[in-house]
Amino acid sequence: MNNLEKNTPEKTTITRDIIEFENKTGNIYESIVIMSKRSYQISSEIKEELSNKLLDFASSTDNLEEVFENREQIEISKYYEKMPKPVAIAMSEMLEDKLYIRKIEE
């Protein structure tokens, strides 16, 4: 179980109070940038993890029947499709104070 699986953000769209995000940094735009950068990190982690798992199924001579019969590969893909979106995970981490924010001072 990786860190992303421990998060439990909503899987559907919900209305958020932007004041909650603004209160985390003092600036709503700064909060959005932080969540955006974290979302990109999460997306990269998920993509790398999925690619590594799917490499096990790669073969140089795939034929059409093998592609349709590979149930394990389909289950892995379905698992990743059901995961919350990276943006939802980043928002959840921000609201639960799970993000480390390092500011570079001028």
pLDDT tens string 1-31: 455 556 667 767 788 899 999 999 999 999 9
C-alpha distances in Å from residue 49, one per residue of 17, 45, 76, 97:
32, 6, 11, 25
Could you tell me the residue ranges of all domains in the chain?
A: 15-95
With tokens 């953000």, the residue in question is 9
The SS3 call for residue 57 is coil
Give CA–CA dist 20/26, Å, rounded: 10
- Find the helix packing angle between 86-95 and 18-25, rounded to 10°: 60
The answer to whether 60 and 38 have CB atoms below 8 angstroms apart is: no
Q: Which pLDDT tens digit goes with each residue over 55-91?
A: 877 665 656 666 555 778 888 888 888 888 999 999 9
